[in-house]
Amino acid sequence: ARTVNDCDIRIGTLCSRAELSGAKLAGSRLAMSNFTRSNLSSADLSEADLHDANFRGANLRRSNLRDAVMYDIDLERADLREADLRGANLVNAFLEDADLRGADLRGADLRGARLWGAQLANARLDGTKLQRVNFGAASLAGATFDGADLRGAQFEDTDLAGADLRGARIDASTEFGRSKMQGCLGCPAAERRP
Residues 6+ apart with CB under 8 A from 170: 150, 151, 186, 188
- Per-residue burial over 74-106, b if 16 or more Cβ lie within 10 Å, else e, is bbbbbbbbbbbbbbbbbbbbbbbbbbbbbbbbb
16 vs 33: CA distance, rounded Å: 9
Neighbouring residues of 64: CB distance < 8 A, sequence distance ≥ 6? 26, 43, 44, 45, 46, 83, 84
Residue 161 identity (one-letter amino acid): A
Q: Are 104 and 88 in contact (CB under 8 A)?
A: no
Share of the chain above pLDDT 70, in %: 97
pLDDT digits (tens, 9 = 90+) for 54-77: 999 999 999 999 999 999 999 999
pLDDT of residue 192: 41
Q: Is the per-residue pLDDT at 190 higher than 80?
A: no
- Residues 6 or more apart in contact with residue 142 via CB below 8 angstroms: 121, 122, 161, 162, 163
Total-model pTM: 0.94
pLDDT tens, position by position, 7-44: 999 999 999 999 999 999 999 999 999 999 999 999 99
- What pLDDT, on the 0 to 100 scale, is given for residue 189? 64
Contact 8, 28 (CB under 8 A): no
Rounded mean pLDDT, 188-194: 52
pLDDT for residue 143 is more than 80:
yes
Mean pLDDT of 158-170: 97
Long-range contacts of 49-53 (CB under 8 A, 24+ apart): 49/11, 51/89
